[in-house]
Amino acid sequence: MTDRKTTDLALTDDAASDDAASDDAASDAAASDVAASDAAASDAGISDDVAADAAPTDAAPRQRKIIHVDMDAFFAAVEMRDDPALRDVPLAVGGRPERRGVVATANYEARRFGVHSAMASARAVRLCANLVLVPPRFDVYRAESGRIRNIFRRYTDLVEPQSLDEAFLDVTDSPACDGSATRMAEQIRREIRETTGLTASAGVAPNRFLAKVGSDWNKPDGQFVITPAQVAAFVHALPVGRIPGVGRVTGERLAGLKVATCGDLQALGVATLESHFGRWGKRLYELARGIDDRPIVPHRVRKQLSVERTFDEDLPDLDACHYELERLHGVFLERYQQAAVADRVRGFTVKLRFEDFETTTIDRAGLGAPELEVFAELLEAAWDRGERPVRLIGMGVRLAEPPRVPRAGEQFELWPGGW
């Protein structure tokens, strides 16, 4: 993910991916980083490994070893590395304020002023008068990302990138470092630093959700390990406000149910949660228990690129929706340029979630650039289906599969499957 997402904005690669959905939308699976409370944070990073070395038995399911690596303020870090004059100043990478630009990433100095990614550049400058704003160089970021992914693949073929600056690795069967996921993560971070001059943080755990928790725990340039034996206590103390998908609005609704921690949430059954949060209720039930069985999927083909925002206060009318759509479009264009998918666009989508959580999506087939006018027309059609206050707006493009290109030394089979 670029380095940090706001609590009300989601940047999604695929509608089916739980790692990319709205931070505040209660019915969407999510991708915000999560941190745990101090009460749950015994220093697991010193443990021998995330999973027992004993061979699996029929009585005990085989434990996975998942590493999540997240680069620290990636875009900004690249700019500071390449221009030493930027190293000790508050810095943001993004579009110009006068052109409704959006911050893609801010360094840690800028974050002390409240500047963060997906924030309007104009607001960022108001928050930090000395902010240095530089345009993104996505070609450079992509090149660095490629070097980092090459490091990952020295340890496992099961690498699932989430964006240019983060990825999941399944190292369950990796023989590196005598099979120790903890030592692999340490070595990967060291190789990244030596190869690129950049720092990364890592989380090691039995599943994706908890590995993502760990990568955020000791940022920047840190590492945290959650062993299987620590999962129950760790998630029990985890504040619900740090669960993926729980932003301000959903957090307030949970507070109304007297739920402050995952331990509190565990007292509520699936039926109760679904009655309050729809499909998202089941996901809340699972995450509150540290359950996440999603596999690491290499070479996942991006089917959709989208952004969405949930508002603290519902938008009362169509004019307000148009205003917010224009702001969201700027965020989307930043994401679109980073993804380099212009030749794969096959359709356009707008989603609205009304005040009562009813959701409608308008989809239009088509090629070409994602112009604001196209989304504005879809917005009006979606509004006509409800004509009532709106709590979430999403917009995006559908993508065709990329053409299959053989790797070096590889040829396509004339007879798939052999003789």
CA dihedral over 358, 363, 369, 375, signed as positive or negative = negative
Peptide bond between residue 220 and the one before it cis (omega within 30 degrees of 0) = yes
Q: How many residues does the chain have?
A: 419
Going by DSSP bridges, is the β-strand pair 103-106/91-94 parallel, antiparallel, or unpaired?
antiparallel
Q: Which string of b and e fits 16-32 if b means at least 16 CB within 10 Å? A: ebbbbbbbbbbbbbbbb
Catalytic residue among 144, 160, 166, 308: 166
Q: Is 194 a catalytic residue?
A: no
Judge whether 237 and 40 are in contact, CB under 8 Å. yes
CA dihedral over 63, 211, 167, 148, signed as positive or negative = negative
Judge whether 25 and 245 are in contact, CB under 8 Å. yes
CA neighbours within 13 Å on the CB side: how many for 253? 16
For residue 42 the two structure tokens come to 């015994």
What's at 220, amino acid-wise?
P
Judge whether 352 and 392 are in contact, CB under 8 Å. yes
Q: Which residues have a catalytic role annotated?
A: 166
